[in-house]
Amino acid sequence: LLSETLCSSLEAGDNVTIWCEFDESLANTIFWFKHTSDSVPLLIGCKKFRASGPSETCKSFTENERIVMNVYKKNTSLTITAVNVSDSGLYYCGYGEERISPKLSNSTSLHVKDNNKQNSVDKMSGTNDCENKTTGTNINLFENKTT
Per-residue CA distances from 59 to 25, 45, 56, 76 (Å) = 22, 12, 9, 19
- Cα–Cα distance for residue pair 2/78, rounded to 1 Å: 17
133 in a structural domain: yes
- Sign, CA dihedral 129-132-137-140, equals positive
Question: Does a structural domain hold residue 65?
Answer: yes
* Cα three-residue angle 27-30-35, rounded to 5 degrees: 135
55 in a structural domain:
yes
For the cut 80, the answer to whether the pLDDT of residue 3 exceeds it is no
3-state DSSP percent of the chain in helix, strand and coil, to 5: 0, 40, 55
Res. 120 pLDDT band, cuts 50 70 90: very low
Closest Cα partner for 79 from 69, 88, 94? 69
Task: Assess if residue 26 is contained within a domain.
Answer: yes
- N-term to C-term CA, the chain: 35
Distance (Å, whole) CA 104 – CA 135: 13
With a cut of 70, say whether residue 127 has pLDDT above it: no
For position 41, what pLDDT does the model report?
92
The C-alpha atoms of residue 73 and residue 50 are separated, in whole angstroms, by: 8
Question: Which of 9-18, 59-68, 136-145 has the least mean pLDDT?
Answer: 136-145
Give the number of residues written for the chain: 147
pLDDT at residue 117, rounded to an integer: 65
**Cα–Cα distance for residue pair 107/24, rounded to 1 Å:** 20
Q: How many domains is the chain built from?
A: 1
State the pTM of this model.
0.74
In a domain, 122, yes or no: yes
CATH number, domain with residue 121: 2.60.40.10
pLDDT over threshold 70, residue 135: no
Strands 7-11 and 108-113 come out as parallel
In a domain, 1, yes or no: no
Whole domain around residue 53: which residue ranges?
Answer: 7-144
Q: Answer with the residue of higher pLDDT: 104 or 66.
A: 66
